[in-house]
Structure 1
Amino acid sequence: MPHAVSLLRAARLARSTKPFLARGGFKRERCTGCRLVPSHCMCAVRPAMAARAGVCLLMADIEPLKPTNTGWLVADVVGDTFAFGWARTETDPALLALLDDPQWQPYVVFPGQYAAPERVVEDVAPGASKRPLFILFDATWAEARKMFRRSPYLDRLPVLSLQPERITQYELRSSGRGDHFCTSEVAAMCMGLAGEHAVGQTLDAYLAVFTHHYLRAKNQQPVAWDGDAHSRLRELATQRS
């Protein structure tokens, strides 16, 4: 069954007047389930998991179309992942309904220095009756800052400011800064704060597998199914079983 990012991608493609050509990507047939060429498909290792916490992706216009997008990986792994296209002039009513759903406690995940101090939190309330819903801007850093400033419907929500003790491991796009994380890495950190440690670890391992498959396909090399990335993902699956 298609997940939220897959559905958003299909809707965005339906509105396109010309084919989307990924800059620097391979121009071959792609699997609809993982966006990789069929020879390097990774659908068989998709680790879908149930979690109390959820993720809401606000995606920049063409982000769902990019083969390097990692919001797709979050939707693969986290059962309750929602995805909405972001626009300055209009807001999807379904997004507003989600933010008002009484089962969720939404957190806008963004660096605290960009928000009023009274909004900023650095942790998720333990044992809260409401389920945490992490709102992530799935975009370039420049786009994300604009989206944060121009989304007034988020102004009433707490801002979760992460304090990472690591640098990014994402290799498929680079901002030149180790403290700029891709979407799946941010989601993994959020899951850890929510006590969903297995989900967070699985997201990190799944990103490593995706990176391996993508780069091997790009360089026309075979997948190393017994390599470190796949071994780690299998180890985590064994621990859950």
Structure 2
Amino acid sequence: MYDERLAAATKPFNARGAKVVRCKTCQIAQQYCICEHQPKPSSDVAVMLLVSDAEILKPSNTGRLILDTVEQGYAFPWHRTEPNPEMLALLKDETLQPIIIFPEEYVDDKKRVLPEVKSVSLEGKKPLFILLDGSWREARRMFRKSPYLDGFPVCSIKPEAVSNYMMRKSEKEDHLATAEVASLVFEQFGASRNAMILSEWFAVFRESYMLSKTRFSSDMSRPALNNFIGLIKNET
């Protein structure tokens, strides 16, 4: 998806940080690449990212971190009028139960909003969490203008903590990065290990990403990365 969007670009991507020489996979400065430490993916849940056009090329995107941690993960560029056929086929997969992750206050039909997660019956299906990956304004537009998602239940997240995401400034200080949202969702649905691994992997990404930003005072000993390495060793 990244390569296709880059090939279709009509002008160079010159956003802030564009001069940093980055690893193509993790999008972190090459000298701080974290690819060799990627966690072993889990098969407990499935994830689909619908990614806004503006988000695909951003190195600070955290959606890719979710896909690092799940075995069954998908990412599709969002299109209002021409949805990806593979995505539509996935939504019809009878082994999966699509669940859209979106705030309840912006859902007009409250019947779609899931009650207490513990009371949700998946009837033997694996949950397919659908995350709308973009700015808050983009995500609201994606939710309103995706008729192929209209029939699916919605899981609303009410975070109690302010976001740890430092790479970008959100419209509201309590807005979470996509990876943070996914970690909370995993926890709510009983996938505690998934939640923990993703949360720690997000911390590694955030720490490593910030090392190339000269206006921030960074800890070059990389405590988040060392903590993650120790965590994985203890598991094995």
TM-score (norm 2): 0.91
- 2:32 pairs, out of 37, 40, 56, with 40
Aligned to 1:240: 235
Aligned to 1:10: 3
Closer, same or farther: CA 127–118 of 1 in aligned 2, 3 Å: closer
The alignment partner of 1:218 has SS state of coil
| CA deviation vs aligned residue, 1:90-141 (integer Å, no higher than 9, x gap) | 1111111000001100001001122211100142636740000110000000
The alignment partner of 1:200 has SS state of helix
Report if aligned partners of 1:26, 1:218 keep a CA contact under 8 Å in 2. no
Structure 2 spans left out of the alignment, 5+ residues: none
Question: Counterparts of 1:150-165 in structure 2 under 5 Å?
Answer: 150-165=145-160
2:189 equivalent to 1:194: yes
The alignment partner of 1:65 has SS state of coil
Quote how far apart the aligned CAs of 1:165 are: 2.5
Question: What one-letter code is carried by the residue in structure 2 that aligns with 1:160?
Answer: C
Question: What one-letter code is carried by the residue in structure 1 that aligns with 2:106?
Answer: Y
| CA deviation vs aligned residue, 1:38-96 (integer Å, no higher than 9, x gap) | 11111121113223211100000031200000011111222211001011221111111
2:84 equivalent to 1:92: yes
**Percent of aligned positions that are identical:** 39
- 1:77 pairs, out of 69, 94, 111, with 69
Aligned residues: 233
The alignment partner of 2:224 has SS state of helix
Q: 1:27 and 1:48 mapped to 2: Cα distance?
A: 31
Structure 1 spans left out of the alignment, 5+ residues: 1-7
Q: 2:123 and 2:17 mapped to 1: Cα distance?
A: 43
Q: 2:220 and 2:101 mapped to 1: Cα distance?
A: 34
Aligned to 1:62: 54
Name which of structure 1's ranges 140-149 and 24-33 shifts more when overlaid on structure 2: 24-33
TM-score (norm 1): 0.89
Closer, same or farther: CA 222–32 of 1 in aligned 2, 3 Å: farther
Q: 1:109 and 1:221 mapped to 2: Cα distance?
A: 32
Q: 2:45 and 2:92 mapped to 1: Cα distance?
A: 16
Q: CA RMSD in A?
A: 2.1
